Structure 1
Amino acid sequence: MQEPTERQGQVPASPWRSAWRRLRRRPIALVGLGLIVFFVLAALLAPVLTAISGHGPTDTDKLAVDRFLGGLPKGSLGGVSSQHWLGVEPGLGHDIFARLLYGAQISLLVAFSAALLITVVGVALGVTAGYFGGKVDMVISRFMDIMMSFPSLIFMIALLSVAKDVNRVLLLIIVMSLFTWPYIARVIRGQTISLKHREYVEAARAGGTSSTRIVLTEILPNLTSTIIVYITLAIPGLIGSEAGLTYLGVGVQPPTPSWGQMIADSELYYKLDPMFFVLPCACLFLVVLGFTLLGDALRDVLDPKGGNG
């Protein structure tokens, strides 16, 4: 006699609840999730934490640096003390702890906003091209090819360099999204072409259901896992792009704190004050690592054909 697969009276677990259970069994995924939560909370609580520490991101403390030694921090480990928990920046004596917190705000704001924008644009165009096909697909696909053929880094640097009197954070979000959306659009287009030939979609179409309703109720729900995985894996690249563009001098401008700017400024002092170089690099590495670990685990868990589940 075959054993029942479900206990009597027990409600079957939803696919998302089952995915969460599988995800919890992966230590690497929990490490990644923990890193993400840590940096998100640090960014959200930046005003509270800096109020406790007593120093804002643009506050200067010239007493904490030695002007006779070229502005190097006084004391060991880059000026770590009870007043400056992670030391101070050489020169003006900005508090590193405060600037790291507000730098996290900038990095996560730019990355999350750009990820949201490329998802909306990419999914909309990808679904449209994949579902309707024909000339619509041809036009959108050729547009994707054109956008993907641009050397994106060069064009991002050029656009950011030309537009100087615009909000830098907003400009970063728009420019980074402009050259990134075709990649998710191409993935979604391929998935949509596969889904539109499924029996339940054909049945809905034969029953007179409108194309809009089919896309919203039959196609998009089945693309959710793909979209979530793509966003999670795209965010690390967006964080790195923001830091890289700022490092090159075309991203966020001083006095706005940014990890990329801190890394660029630390080049002059990395031998004399290595903490100034190590701390923003460590933050950038850990937050990218967190999203990468979580994204890889989500891809294995949510892809029914991949991973061990």
Structure 2
Amino acid sequence: MSDTTSTGTGQAPESGATLVADKPAEKKAAIIGRSPGQLAWLRLRRDRVGVFSLGIVLVFFVVSMLAPLVELIYGYGPTTNNSHLLNEDSLPLGYLGGITFSSDNASNHMHILGVQPGTGRDMFMQLVYGARTSLLISLSATVISLVIGVVIGIVAAYVGGWIDSFLNWFTDYMLAFPFLIFAFAAIPIVNTWLADEKGEVSETSRIWTIIVIFSVFGWMGTARLVRGQVLSLREREYVEAARAAGAGVNHILFRQLLPNLWAPILVTFSLSVPATVTGEAALSFLGIGVVEPTPDWGRMINDSVAWYREQPMYMLIPGISIFILVLAFNLFGDALRDALDPKSTK
């Protein structure tokens, strides 16, 4: 009896010890097996504001990129004029700018956000295609300016010497240059060069002019950020090991240093896009950006100035859309920064 009891008593702690020992081992293995990107994604998923903001941004992206499909499903174009939807003062018939969810009207179609005063165009489709224009310009200009800023920042910090001094001076000069004054002067001149025999500038040419202007004036902040990061990274052990192994400058810059800069670059990108959205809308509002008949949020706000007293919805709809998109981008940028660098909040 004593042997049986002692044997049973001896086996139970041994089995229990094995189970207790296995749990920390499994937990430790799970943590070690996650990459920095996976850990950042887990931190981002826990941020409800960041996830909700990302969802709003993705909705804007998907709707704007699929604008032709939305038009096909909706059944009404963005530039279709319909004076039958307006009264004798060129104001929309009905309530809140002609909002109707019924096809029992002169256009035989619903208008879920109403119609524009003066033209009778559908506001929903103008908003969808306006988002496409704004995001196309903003994303293209931001990507180009980021590439320029990253290259200049890496080269300046790694090479050093007179090249670093010259690039720093040039960056300071560009930062001191007034953007709006240059845009007012340059865009009309460039459009004059690009005009055809009738004096008209194509939609593509106007959009590319705005993209180039924003790219020229949008790289300086990225260049300074990247330069500061590279100054602290160029003396690290893995860079010294690459030099000792005979790696070339291009390999060290773009294979060793650049992969360690993705976190600040992504954060800069997420915060630069909304700034470009508001800048593009400002140029169109001032009449030197996108013009008729291309749908654009800034141009819509510019056109609504003449009607804001009689029809405030014409101004509120694009204005609120810009506010929501910019706010969502900024909140997502903050959440992304905290996820990639959790120590920044401490």
Shorter-chain-normalised TM-score: which range? over 0.9
2:305 corresponds to 1:286: no
In the other structure, the counterpart of 1:138 is 165
Partner of 1:78: 97
User: Hey, what's the Cα distance between the residues in 1 that align with 2:316 and 2:323?
Assistant: 10
Structure 1: give runs of 5+ residues left out of the alignment.
none
| Secondary structure of 1:94 counterpart | coil
Q: Deviations over 1:82-102 (max 9, x none)?
A: 321211000111110110000
Q: Partner of 2:83 in structure 1?
A: 62
Residue 92 of structure 1: aligned partner? 119
Secondary structure of the residue that 2:191 maps to in structure 1? coil
> 2:147 maps to what in 1?
120
The one-letter code sitting in structure 1 at the alignment partner of 2:143 is L
Q: C-alpha deviations, 1:126-152, integer Å up to 9, x for none? A: 100011111111121111111111011
Q: Does 1:177 align with 2:215?
A: yes
Amino acid corresponding to residue 272 of structure 1 in structure 2: E
Under a length normalisation based on structure 2, what TM-score does the superposition of the two structures give? 0.85
Match of 1:21 in 2: 42
- One-letter amino acid of the structure 2 residue matched with residue 72 of structure 1: L
Question: If each structure's helix is expressed as a fraction of its own residues, which one has the higher value?
Answer: 2
> What is the CA-CA distance between 1:6 and the residue it aligns to?
4.4
Kindly provide the amino acid, as one letter, of the partner of residue 325 in structure 2. V
Q: Per-residue deviation at 1:106?
A: 0.5
Q: Distance in 1 between matches of 2:52 and 2:31?
A: 32
Q: Which moved more, 1:248-257 or 1:267-276?
A: 267-276
Residue by residue, what CA displacement relative to the aligned partner does 1:138-172 show, whole Å, maximum 9, x if unpaired?
Answer: 12111111111101121122211222244111001
CA shift in 2, pair 1:8/1:85, >3 Å: closer
Separation in 2 of the partners of 1:195 and 1:304?
19
CA distance in 1, matches of 2:133, 2:230: 34
Pairing 1:245–2:283 present: yes
Q: Please, which runs of 5 or more residues in structure 2 have no aligned partner? A: 1-20, 103-109, 195-204
Q: Aligned equivalents of 1:93 and 1:87: distance in 2?
A: 9
Residue 180 of structure 1: SS of its match in structure 2? Answer: coil
* TM-score normalised according to structure 1 size: 0.95
State the distance in 1 between where 2:268 and 2:335 align.
12
With 139-148 and 93-102 compared, the bigger mean Cα shift is at 139-148
SS in structure 2 at match of 1:217? helix
SS in 1 for 2:33: coil
CA-to-partner distance for each residue in 1:248-272, whole Å, 9 max, x for gaps? Answer: 0000011101000111111121121
> Quick one: percent identity of the two aligned structures?
42
Offset of 1:4 from its aligned partner?
4.4
Q: Which amino acid aligns with 1:171?
A: T
Q: Distance in 2 between matches of 1:183 and 1:292?
A: 17
Q: CA deviation at 1:216?
A: 1.9
Distance in 2 separating the partners of 1:260 and 1:45: 21
**2:167 corresponds to 1:129:** no
The equivalent residue for 2:190 is: 163
Residue in structure 2 matched with residue 306 of structure 1 by the alignment = 344
For the pair 1:262 / 2:262, whether they are aligned, the reply is no
Partner Cα distance (1:304, 1:123) in 2: 23
Counterpart-to-counterpart distance in 2, 1:123 and 1:219: 11
What SS class does the counterpart of residue 279 from structure 2 fall into? Answer: helix
Conservation of the 8 A alpha-carbon contact between 1:301 and 1:307: no
Equivalent residue number for residue 35 of structure 1: 56
Cα gap change, 1:195 to 1:89, in 2 (>3 Å):
same
Instruction: Tell me: CA distance 1:269–1:176, structure 2 relative to 1, closer, same or farther (3 Å).
Output: same
Per-residue deviation, 1:71: 0.2
For residues 190-229 of structure 1, what are the alpha-carbon distances to aligned partners after superposition, in whole Å with 9 as ceiling and x for unaligned?
1111100112212221232222111122100000111000
